[in-house]
Amino acid sequence: MIKAEPIERESETPAPEHESALVARARQGDLQAYDELIKRYQERIYATIYHMTSNHEDANDLAQESFIKAYSALKSFKGGSSFYTWLYRIAVNKTINFLKQRKNRQAMSLNDIDFQAEHDPDLVALVSEKTPRREAGLNELQEKLNEALLKLSEPHRLVVVLHDVQGQSHEEIAKVMDCNIGTVRSRLFYARQQLQSYLSDYLKK
């Protein structure tokens, strides 16, 4: 089993009382407060949707629609979970519904890889060590990785994205997916096995 690395998040989770104050103001129709909430979570919501769809344009539309839907449904937000978890559920459900509809049309529109990737120790190790396809550049690896992810079912892909890419804990994922932790673990294990078989040419042996 691999361990989930803590992800460096650009914006830390805000203090609960501050978030609840913003949510209360947004519920009263204060769009400035909602703008602040969007700015806090836009990167994480967008990234999750993008990694699920492997398409920037779709991720942009779905992320915007998720925030719009969340705003219109704020009255129904009871505060049982954090606003972030609730928002995440909306985004994830919207994305899964979208993916089910576009089953036969999986066009990728990938974002560029930032310049920091060349200095990422994990990627340096992966490319420089003796892999079966050591000559493969980062762009080719990116394409193959996204293709492999798209072959997974939506729940399995979501678990991999949330845990291995975004660094969320099993508990957080269970809350978002509304299932128990055991289901999350088993899905994660199965998804990794699948990915490993799809990407065997690009993984060192």
Partner 1 sequence: MNENENFESLRQLLSLKRHEVPPPGYFNRFSGQVIARIRAGEREAESATPWYLRFMQMFEMKPAFASSFASALCLLLLFGIVYAEQSDQTTPQASLFPSTAMSSESLVPNQVALNSMSQPPAPNVNVFADSISNSAPSSLQPLFGSSGNVFAQQASFNFSR
Residues in contact with partner 1 by the rule CB under 8 A: 1-2, 5, 7, 28-29, 31, 34-35, 38-39, 42-43, 46, 50-51, 56, 60, 63-64, 67-68, 71-72, 75, 110-114, 116-117, 120, 122-123, 125-126, 131, 138, 141-142, 145, 160-161, 164-165, 192, 195-196, 199, 202-205
Q: In angstroms, what is the minimal distance from the CB of 69 to partner 1? A: 10
All residues at 6 or more sequence positions from 94 whose CB lies less than 8 Å from its CB, including other chains: 62, 65, 66, 69
| Identity of the residue, 7 or 107, whose beta carbon is nearer to partner 1 in the bound complex | 7
- The neighbour count for residue 175, using CB atoms within 10 Å, is 19
DSSP single-letter state for residue 55:
B
The sign of the torsion formed by the CA atoms of 146, 149, 153, 158 equals: negative
Rounded CA-CA distance 17/135 in Å is: 51
Report the nearest approach of partner 1 to the CB of residue 173 (Å): 15
- Amino acid sitting at position 43: E
C-alpha distance across the termini of the chain, in Å: 16
Smallest gap from residue 18 Cβ to partner 1 (A)? 17
Nearer to partner 1 by Cβ, of 18 and 178: the residue is: 18
Specify the residue, 111 or 178, whose C-beta has the smaller distance to partner 1. Answer: 111
- CB of 75 or CB of 100, closer to partner 1: 75
CB of 154 to partner 1, least distance (A): 17
CB 62 within 8 A of CB 91: yes
Smallest distance from partner 1 to CB 166, Å: 8
Which residue lies nearer to partner 1 by CB, 178 or 187? 187
CA dist list (Å): 1 to 4, 162, 197:
9, 16, 16
